[in-house]
């Protein structure tokens, strides 16, 4: 065979010889490119962000976001590979094209410059945690930089962006990931840090280390969203639509798996129990203390879940009046730049009288869903009464607050509701009070008065007022 090839080659012209030589050089390269399986979707996130995304002791990816993407892979028949790094490195991996998608992160303006955001995965809440020895101290003074207390955050995380913009004068210590941040807190290297509530709860429930920090201030609630580089060939819109193939039951199963934490024992407990079995008295004391500590953790988690139920409206799944009033109390400590809105469904009683209360609930749900779609990430929406809703935010400007109020009325009026083959037009009357500065606790009275002024003006409109404490009384007289 080799002799035959040699005879053929000797008869070829010089040009053909070089053609064969070039094929011999480049053919292995084409073969290598084929085995890299370019159809695999590389998904990046943090390697130490329990319970959302982390590497196990065996180096395997695990967490809520990992399970979400595994479910996405199964339902859409797409092979997914995970690239788990420190948080800041995971962002650079997506920006530089080392990964196609970021598994889940919060939207921010700096990130929006190089990322395109897609489907919402789940909401998260973030708290300011303070060492128990400092409970009772003036947290606001520390945040303004008027003390020696430093605050710990994850480098490149949304927490760092939030604190440096909201409180630019406080000194910040950054850590590469959440695990290093929590270890530094456990060693008392820092007395104050910012972290996601779910992260700290998971750490407290699964760690044997006594964690002497308590949440003292709710900073924000945001949605985790998938994201891709703006230069990525991956269509973030198409990928977001593919996420709808994951059933809600599967999403609930994933969440419940990670939030309903049962007893978590250290690996050395079984051999330790065997050793102590011969000493019945010592074993009994150890077991009793362990049980009490674990039951306390379980009770804390159960109480937290019960508290969430008491703060949520069962029909719309929005915040309820109690939660909203608590938020208003916390925001009142800020002293400036607060937006309060109240809106009420026009002629709602006639809907109930004509179609019944079940259809009335459908109208309330329709208004709630339309309002949720219009809400920016920095705005909180609540149902505070039968057909009455409220909005609060400390992140809007006077102009953006006015614009949101007007756009909300327009959006709700444009979204008619079908009831028993009848098209029911729905509108709201909205009052919006913007407080550039204030020096005393606020209430809903100003926004409520403006809402009734909107009803007097013919309904289906928004009445806006920039409220200063020296013009509150004239405003209320005008509204009446």
Q: What is the pLDDT along the chain (480 residues), one digit of tens a residue?
A: 443 434 444 443 434 434 333 433 333 333 223 333 567 899 999 999 999 999 999 999 999 999 999 999 999 999 999 999 999 999 999 999 999 999 999 999 999 999 999 999 999 999 999 998 888 888 999 999 898 899 999 999 999 999 999 999 999 999 999 999 999 999 999 999 999 999 998 888 888 777 789 999 999 999 999 999 998 888 999 999 998 899 988 988 998 888 765 434 444 445 655 665 677 778 778 878 888 888 888 877 767 766 666 788 989 999 999 999 988 988 887 778 899 999 999 999 999 898 888 899 999 999 999 999 999 988 999 999 999 999 999 999 999 999 999 999 999 999 999 887 888 999 999 999 999 988 888 889 999 999 999 999 999 999 999 998 654 444 443 433
Same domain? For 116 and 253 the reply is yes
Q: For residues 181 and 219, state if they share a domain.
A: yes
CB 322 within 8 A of CB 403: no
In whole angstroms, give the CA distance from residue 343 to residue 365: 14
Measured CA to CA in angstroms, residue 36 lies from 25, 29, 30, 85, 88 at distances of 19, 11, 11, 21, 26
Same domain, 180 and 83: no
Contact 402, 464 (CB under 8 A): yes
> Is the domain of 198 the same as that of 97?
no
187 and 211 in contact (C-beta within 8 Å)? no
**What is the Cα–Cα distance from 199 to 391, expressed in whole angstroms?**
28
Q: Hey, CA dihedral for 208, 209, 210, 215, is it positive or negative?
A: negative
Q: Are residues 471 and 343 in the same domain?
A: yes
Domain residue limits at 31: 2-35
Q: Are residues 327 and 423 in the same domain?
A: yes
Q: Are residues 304 and 408 in the same domain?
A: no
Please indicate, yes or no, whether residues 302 and 451 belong to a single structural domain of this protein: no
316 is a domain residue = no
Report strand pairing: 101-105 vs 461-466: unpaired
| 58 and 31 part of one domain | no
Q: How many domains does the chain fold into?
A: 5
Question: Domain check: are 98 and 215 in the same one?
Answer: no
CA geometry: angle at 225 spanning 221 and 230, to 5°?
130
| Pair 371, 464 in one domain | yes
């Amino acid at each position: 065979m080799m002799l035959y090839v040699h005879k053929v080659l000797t008869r070829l012209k010089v040009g053909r010889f070089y053609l064969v030589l070039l094929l011999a050089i480049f053919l292995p390269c084409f073969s290598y490119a084929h085995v890299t399986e370019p159809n695999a979707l590389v998904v990046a996130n943090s390697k130490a962000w329990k319970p959302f995304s982390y590497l196990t002791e065996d180096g395997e990816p695990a967490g809520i976001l990992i399970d979400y993407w595994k479910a996405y892979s199964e339902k859409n028949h797409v092979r997914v590979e995970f690239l788990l790094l420190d948080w800041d490195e995971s962002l650079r991996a997506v920006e530089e094209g080392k990964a196609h998608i970021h598994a889940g992160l919060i939207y921010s303006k700096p990130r929006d410059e190089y990322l395109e955001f897609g489907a919402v995965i789940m909401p998260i809440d973030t708290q300011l945690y303070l060492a128990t020895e400092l409970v009772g101290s003036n947290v606001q003074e520390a945040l303004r930089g008027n003390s020696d207390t430093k605050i710990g955050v994850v480098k490149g995380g949304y927490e760092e962006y939030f604190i440096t913009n909201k409180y630019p004068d406080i000194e910040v210590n950054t850590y590469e990931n959440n695990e290093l941040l929590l270890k530094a807190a456990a060693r008392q290297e820092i007395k104050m840090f910012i972290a996601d509530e779910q992260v700290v709860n998971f750490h407290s429930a699964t760690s044997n280390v006594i964690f002497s920090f308590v949440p003292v201030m709710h900073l924000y609630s945001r949605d985790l969203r998938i994201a891709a580089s703006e230069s990525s060939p991956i269509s973030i819109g198409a990928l977001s639509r593919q996420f709808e193939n994951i059933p809600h039951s599967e999403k609930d199963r994933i969440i419940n798996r990670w939030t309903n934490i049962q007893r978590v024992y250290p690996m050395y407990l079984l051999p330790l129990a065997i050793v102590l079995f011969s000493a019945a008295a010592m074993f009994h004391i150890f077991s009793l203390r362990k049980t009490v500590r674990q039951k306390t953790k379980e009770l804390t988690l159960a109480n937290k879940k019960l508290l969430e139920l008491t703060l949520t409206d069962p029909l719309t799944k929005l915040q309820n009046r109690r939660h909203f009033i608590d938020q208003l109390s916390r925001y009142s400590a800020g002293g400036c730049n607060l937006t309060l809105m109240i809106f009420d469904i026009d002629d709602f009683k006639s809907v109930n009288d004509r179609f019944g209360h079940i259809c009335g609930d459908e109208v309330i749900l329709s208004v709630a869903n339309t309002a949720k779609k219009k809400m920016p990430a920095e705005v909180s929406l609540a149902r505070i009464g039968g057909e009455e809703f409220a909005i609060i935010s400390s992140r809007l400007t006077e102009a953006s607050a006015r614009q949101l109020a007007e756009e909300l009325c327009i959006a709700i009026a444009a979204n008619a509701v079908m009831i028993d083959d009848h098209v029911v037009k729905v509108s709201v009357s909205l009052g919006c009070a913007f407080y550039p500065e204030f020096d005393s606790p606020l209430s809903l009275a100003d926004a409520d008065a403006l809402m009734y002024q909107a009803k007097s003006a013919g309904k289906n409109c928004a009445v806006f007022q920039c409220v200063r404490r020296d013009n509150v009384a004239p405003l209320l007289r005008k509204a009446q």
